[in-house]
Structure 1
Amino acid sequence: MKYRPISNEQAVPVYQPFVLISYPFRWQQTVEAKCLQQLHPQSKIDCVAPMPLPITMRETKQTETIPKVALFVYSEEAAELVIPLKENPYGVTITAVTHEAFFAKPAQHLPAIKHVVVSGPIKTIKRVMELALEFQFSIGIVPTKKQKNICASFDLPQEAEQAIKTALTNADTEIDLIRCNGKILLFRGTIGSIPLLDAPSNKNKPRTALEALKRIRRLKHKGFTFTTGSNQPVKTAACGCMIIQQQEKTLAAKLIEQNNSCTDGMISLIIAAPLSVVSYIKFITESLRQDFSLNNLTSTIGYLKTETLRIESTEPVPMFIDGEEATSTPVQCEVLSAAVRVKTGEKLHQQKLEGATPAEITKINNLPQGKEIIKAQKKQIPFFSYASEERFRDLFLALKGDAAIDPIYIILMLLSTLLATVGLYLNSSSVVIGAMLLAPLMSPIVSLAMGLLRGDSALAFRSFRKIIVGVGIALSAAALMSLTFPYKPVTAEMQARLNPSLLDLAVAVIAGIAGAYTKSYKEILQSLAGVGIAVALVPPLAVAGIGLGRLDLLFAWQAFLLFSTNLIGITLAAAYTFRVLGFSAAVRNKRGVALIAITMALIAIPLFLSYKQIVSKAELEKSWQTERFLVNGKYLIVREANLTNLKDKKVLYVNLLARDQLNRHDLAQFKRKIQGNFDKKLIVRANITYIP
């Protein structure tokens, strides 16, 4: 740094860029750069790639991590490692001892030993770690051929030669130890059942998903209370939970790998609480994605990260620690931060150097809460989930309001019916659509569906009474208006509502599903008007009222059949939609719902016959359009045919092409030819076009 004098009393420092040559470790480079930046905030500091240390310096650094003497504790299956360890090329003097002899008199071996290499079962490794807490020695682990989980968790090589090198020469990493009721947990602790989460992450995903599906029906929720370090109890119902310590290669570890570390002094707990088979299948589908992580989950899983944890349940549940049953609830978990020094792989050591923020995390939005806990306990998970208490309360308040008769309902029913009647006479589809928008009939039908589903007789009765009042208003208003019209045409808009079929029933069922769904979610409630337009409840009532005004009972019955189809279809579909959305654990009023279903089945009979007639009519019309009729030596070609019903007669509108002049005798002969296709008297209206 140089100074350029400005006056005799003042000098201003002139900062020049300089280059910082870092140390070989990233954390040293970062710390050095930050320190210099704080000292000289206006200077430009560049961190260049680490320069290799001189050979003498590297040898010194490596020598510091290699112990001069070490003890090798081994089990029977690891006896073959004794000679390779004693003949190691790193200058370490090895004393080998069986784990039985070592654990019989540990104090006899340890005072003069600062490093222990261990190879054997998980129990042996854990007992060595317990002694490391007391005697403060470092540990090297040489995994056996079957201990892939240890290799994955401590970032150790599987080959014996490389594992020995790591156990003797690598730098020490201070790792945490988790104790659950005094038992050391190295990898994971499982309480209850958590299918899929305990599966290996590198296993064939479709096969893993299929295995998880097979276990779904055996899942049951139990009541749990999780008390974290901040003494905040989390009460919920879950089928199981899992504590993850090391980065074992399971789907659970992959799920929280961004939040979990064995060097952060925290406990990571995953809680599995599928509210339904459907939600669990959705979770299985999410697990197949490449970006499977805690941040993009939508259901089923809760997550806690805390310094201490107490797990309690409504009934004792066994806890499996590292694959073996070790204890049962209640379980008190504690973390011994940086408790033991283990020679791990470079990746895990670097993770310790970079550090992890030990912050408590609570993600419980996807878990059952409040009254939902009582519903879920001691039961197999239902096929469909329960609705939340908030959604349930809001929906019921809205449905009770919809079931009440008020002046607004009466006025809207009257206005919508009058508007629909005028639109029908004008043959104006736009006016009829406007009447559909005004009609308030959809809301009490949806309320009736909920009342039937939950066996709420008061809600069902009020909703049914409101529907009857609305039907009475519509029929009366349309009948009175038809009496005021001296000219009573049957327009195309009226005819469109005189022949209901199975297609109309399908529309009603779909509209019922849509109506219940939109009513269940406040954010899409405005879509209910669109559902009302699709199903058209008031126009059929208006046509039925017109039929009553004309004293044509068949006319009125056909239109009222369409309204009945819509009413029954919407009610039944809405009831089962509410069941699917979780607003009832079961169909409580089975008798009422069964009555609706039987009525719909009875209505479906004339609808099926009507649909069959529509198909036959279409086929007949199509066949005529390709057929030539020979009448009195003259050829007639049917260009277009349209068959309609008028009371007990059928009216056929045809466009004919002919070359020769046709007289009344010819047309009478043409009518006789086609009359044989019908059992009722046929009226023919012909439009003749002559061609050269």
Structure 2
Amino acid sequence: MLYLLHESQEKESVEENILPVLKNIEYEPVSFPLDKEFDIDADSCLLLFLPDSALREIIPVAAKNKWPIAILPHPENKFTSKGLGVSEDIEDVITQFTECDNPYHIDLLFCNDIPVFSSINIGDIFLLSQRHGKKNFFQEVVNIIRNIRKASSLSHHSYQISTDGEKVIHTSALGIIVVEHASSSLISKRLLEESSINDGAFQAFVLAPQNLMVLLWFFLRSLVPSKKTLTKLPSFIGKIKTSNLQVAGKEPVDYTIDGEKKQAEELNIEVLKQTLILKQQSVYSDKTEKENGRKSIKIEGLPTGETRKELIKRSLPILPRASTEQFQDLFKVLRNNSTISTSFMVMMILSTLIATFGLFGNSSPVIIGAMILAPVISPIVSFSMGMVRYDVPMLKESFVTITAGTLVSLAFAAGVSLVIPLKVLTPEIEARLSPTLLDMGIAVSSGIAAAYAHANEGIAKSLAGVAIAVALVPPLAVAGIGIGWWDWEVFSGAILLYATNLAGIILFGGLTFLFLGFAPFKRAKMGLVYTLVIVVLVAVPLTLSFDRIMQEANITRALEGATIQNVVLRDVRIRFGSPMVVSLRLVGPQDIAPQRIQEVKKEIEKKIDQPVRLEVVSAMEF
């Protein structure tokens, strides 16, 4: 016997939509809720035309009494239909029901004795709840933007998680998502391959991001259309596969079951294996059981101990915050680096001497060796940390160390320039007299690299490469040579380059520490503002110098290879002055008379729109 179960107020809908399909099938209509005496024999079946709320009541009863069921599409049973993977077409359901000789025995997920068809969302899982129907890419973007506005109020909650009666972890998290198969939520679709509904287990994802940036990045990745799951579980997500789970918090736990809000002191989640007899096809029943329902626990990235306590106290920060262990290890290193010592002074003197001799000898390998030896980058990084943490002792010690190293370097470079009887601007010296915004870019990148290398012990060996990139000692050596020669142009150009490197590494090293979570922004902002002012002041002459280089490049490009008065201009060189000096070679088929050179000069002035003084080498082309 077939029993058609429906709510009494939906009798007209049943007569209009269901009965025409059942015209050749014998059935008996039954109103929901059922009488206590209601029962069916082993050969009978319940055909359910009910909303989700009613199905949550009847399905556990059917499972307990071993009643076979088939679920008809209903305007309000989306969670059940999608969760069990049954057809939403009435004729398909009737066909499957009539042709089903061997009913399917499927698992049921329960939370505190309530059946779960889609997902359990515990805590602040505001963006990862079950989606109703299909959404296109634009709708997903709008949904994320709308919900990210709530992000500033997100905070961790304390959860004690157990399975099989044994404690798994005491952690903190935004929340936990529990699903039985991959298509139950946005996050499970990206992290799970298609799974069977009959593997005797469910998946619990513990979301514990320690800052909003990693959460936002994960959401953006989830938006990218892809049929593939993520190959690696994000570090802030814990994954537990089990047949039972207990979740408790210090306060009553807020959660939803298929979108319905609830609260409880403790959640007991379990799967009852093959308890429901389904007399229709499920899209999940034929999936290959790859893991055979074996328990697995991956919780290495979840916060515990002091980190857990810190995350519970306040809202989720935008940027990362370093752990207590990271603070202690890095501060110990940077405090040691900020202190002036004999070894620091000796290495500064030796690196300066090597750099000075290399500059006079025009030897790049020797200068590179001096860069590697120079220890001055270490107290500069310490100064960056002192600035963002507003650690006055560290700031003072670093400032003293940097100042002492700078003065010693200038003194010994000046001394060498006085001893060596040469006053020649070698190419290596000249290369450090006209810093531009390009040098600021190098200093910025090197400052980030230096701070990041200090924060990550495993890559600290790359500091030699950073020292080469920043090149702190060679500009100091050139400035010292300028003092020895009493040449303001040499000294000012080199000291500007040194100041550029110094300001760039301090500011962007500090910003890197801030981004890595070693200081709150409120504490760091004053130090960053002061350093930014210095960078801006340094950038003014750099901008002028860069503008001059651009102007020189434009003039050179305009003149090089140009033909004026049947004469070709070659090897154009520019020196700025009043007027500008243009040095070039004139190539023609015959000797060039002075009068003709004057005509070339007038054409050049007309071409670049300013007066020039011409230095000419004449050449004949045969």
1:179-218 pair list within 5 angstroms: 179-191=110-122, 192-196=124-128, 198-199=130-131, 203-205=135-137, 207-218=139-150
Q: Provide the C-alpha distance between the structure 2 equivalents of 1:531 and 1:507, rounded to a whole number of angstroms.
A: 10
> In the alignment, is the contact (CA less than 8 A) between 2:51 and 2:76 conserved in 1?
no
- 578, 589, 595: which is aligned to 2:513? 578
Displacement of 1:671 in angstroms is 10
Give the aligned residue type for 1:439.
A
Give deviations 1:586-616, integer Å, cap 9, x for gaps: 2514322221111111112222222233333
Q: Provide the C-alpha distance between the structure 2 equivalents of 1:450 and 1:487, rounded to a whole number of angstroms.
A: 42
Structure 1 residue matching 2:149: 3-state secondary structure: helix
Q: Which moved more, 1:317-326 or 1:471-480?
A: 317-326
1:521 aligns with 2:456: yes
- 360, 382, 398: which is aligned to 2:333? 398
Give the aligned residue type for 1:263.
N
> In the alignment, is the contact (CA less than 8 A) between 2:181 and 2:202 conserved in 1?
no
**Which residue is equivalent to 2:229?**
293
Give deviations 1:167-205, integer Å, cap 9, x for gaps: 455333333333323323222122222414634695324
Label 1:284 to 1:507 Cα distance change in 2 as closer, same or farther (>3 A): same
> In the alignment, is the contact (CA less than 8 A) between 2:200 and 2:272 conserved in 1?
yes
- 215, 222, 245: which is aligned to 1:309? 245
Structure 2 residue matching 1:203: 3-state secondary structure: coil
**Which residue is equivalent to 2:163?**
229
Q: Provide the C-alpha distance between the structure 2 equivalents of 1:476 and 1:83, rounded to a whole number of angstroms.
A: 102
1:163-562 pair list within 5 angstroms: 163-167=93-97, 169-170=99-100, 171-191=102-122, 192-196=124-128, 198-199=130-131, 203-205=135-137, 207-219=139-151, 220-230=154-164, 231-245=166-180, 248=183, 250-255=185-190, 257-258=192-193, 260-287=195-222, 288=224, 290=226, 292-293=228-229, 295-328=231-264, 330-345=266-281, 347-350=283-286, 357-377=292-312, 379-562=314-497
1:106 aligns with 2:36: yes
Displacement of 1:317 in angstroms is 4.7
Structure 2 residue matching 1:302: 3-state secondary structure: strand
Give deviations 1:269-315, integer Å, cap 9, x for gaps: 22333333432333234322535436423344322223332223455
> How many residues are treated as equivalent by the alignment?
609
Displacement of 1:684 in angstroms is 7.8
Larger Rg belongs to: 1
**Which residue is equivalent to 2:92?**
162
Displacement of 1:346 in angstroms is 5.8
Q: Provide the C-alpha distance between the structure 2 equivalents of 1:324 and 1:297, rounded to a whole number of angstroms.
A: 28
Q: Provide the C-alpha distance between the structure 2 equivalents of 1:256 and 1:479, rounded to a whole number of angstroms.
A: 64
1:124 aligns with 2:42: no
> In the alignment, is the contact (CA less than 8 A) between 1:477 and 1:545 conserved in 2?
yes
Give deviations 1:442-467, integer Å, cap 9, x for gaps: 22222211221122223333222222
Give deviations 1:493-521, integer Å, cap 9, x for gaps: 11111122222212211221222233333
> In the alignment, is the contact (CA less than 8 A) between 2:86 and 2:283 conserved in 1?
no
Q: Provide the C-alpha distance between the structure 1 equivalents of 2:312 and 2:113, rounded to a whole number of angstroms.
A: 29
Displacement of 1:118 in angstroms is 1.8
Q: Which moved more, 1:80-89 or 1:459-468?
A: 80-89
**Which residue is equivalent to 1:153?**
83
Label 1:605 to 1:222 Cα distance change in 2 as closer, same or farther (>3 A): same
Displacement of 1:95 in angstroms is 2.4
Displacement of 1:690 in angstroms is 5.2
Label 1:282 to 1:562 Cα distance change in 2 as closer, same or farther (>3 A): same
Q: Provide the C-alpha distance between the structure 2 equivalents of 1:629 and 1:164, rounded to a whole number of angstroms.
A: 93
Give the aligned residue type for 2:115.
I
TM-score, scaled relative to structure 1: 0.77
**Which residue is equivalent to 1:642?**
573
Can you give the 5+ residue segments of structure 1 that lack an aligned partner in the other structure? 1-68
Displacement of 1:328 in angstroms is 4.2
Give the aligned residue type for 2:60.
E
Q: Provide the C-alpha distance between the structure 2 equivalents of 1:656 and 1:643, rounded to a whole number of angstroms.
A: 15
**Which residue is equivalent to 1:32?**
none
1:129-148 pair list within 5 angstroms: 129-145=59-75, 147-148=77-78
**Which residue is equivalent to 1:35?**
none
**Which residue is equivalent to 1:616?**
551
Give deviations 1:328-373, integer Å, cap 9, x for gaps: 4542323333333232416544459x69633222222344444333
Give deviations 1:44-101, integer Å, cap 9, x for gaps: xxxxxxxxxxxxxxxxxxxxxxxxx243221244623663586455xxx53221103x
Q: Which moved more, 1:156-165 or 1:469-478?
A: 156-165
Q: Which moved more, 1:615-624 or 1:522-531?
A: 615-624
> In the alignment, is the contact (CA less than 8 A) between 1:189 and 1:243 conserved in 2?
yes
Give deviations 1:142-172, integer Å, cap 9, x for gaps: 2325544433332322222331343455333
- 85, 90, 115: which is aligned to 2:45? 115
- Tell me which of the two structures has the higher relative contact order, counting C-alpha pairs closer than 8 angstroms and 6 or more residues apart: 2
> In the alignment, is the contact (CA less than 8 A) between 1:177 and 1:184 conserved in 2?
yes
**Which residue is equivalent to 1:95?**
28
Q: Provide the C-alpha distance between the structure 2 equivalents of 1:381 and 1:201, rounded to a whole number of angstroms.
A: 31
Give the aligned residue type for 1:461.
K
Label 1:654 to 1:159 Cα distance change in 2 as closer, same or farther (>3 A): closer
**Which residue is equivalent to 1:65?**
none
> In the alignment, is the contact (CA less than 8 A) between 2:368 and 2:468 conserved in 1?
yes
Q: Which moved more, 1:77-86 or 1:184-193?
A: 77-86
Give deviations 1:455-502, integer Å, cap 9, x for gaps: 222333322222222212211111111011112211121111112222
> In the alignment, is the contact (CA less than 8 A) between 1:264 and 1:355 conserved in 2?
no
Label 1:586 to 1:128 Cα distance change in 2 as closer, same or farther (>3 A): same
Q: Provide the C-alpha distance between the structure 2 equivalents of 1:675 and 1:402, rounded to a whole number of angstroms.
A: 56
TM-score, scaled relative to structure 2: 0.85
Structure 1 residue matching 2:121: 3-state secondary structure: strand
Give the aligned residue type for 1:204.
N
Displacement of 1:538 in angstroms is 0.8
Displacement of 1:321 in angstroms is 1.1
Give deviations 1:81-132, integer Å, cap 9, x for gaps: 663586455xxx53221103x2xx2314457885333220112222212323
Q: Which moved more, 1:335-344 or 1:223-232?
A: 335-344
Displacement of 1:641 in angstroms is 3.7
Query: CA RMSD, aligned part only?
Result: 3.8
Label 1:394 to 1:677 Cα distance change in 2 as closer, same or farther (>3 A): farther
Q: Which moved more, 1:593-602 or 1:426-435?
A: 426-435
Can you give the 5+ residue segments of structure 2 that lack an aligned partner in the other structure? none
Q: Provide the C-alpha distance between the structure 1 equivalents of 2:302 and 2:225, rounded to a whole number of angstroms.
A: 22
> In the alignment, is the contact (CA less than 8 A) between 1:181 and 1:327 conserved in 2?
no
Q: Provide the C-alpha distance between the structure 2 equivalents of 1:214 and 1:414, rounded to a whole number of angstroms.
A: 60
Label 1:686 to 1:343 Cα distance change in 2 as closer, same or farther (>3 A): same
Structure 2 residue matching 1:243: 3-state secondary structure: strand
Identity of aligned residues (%): 30
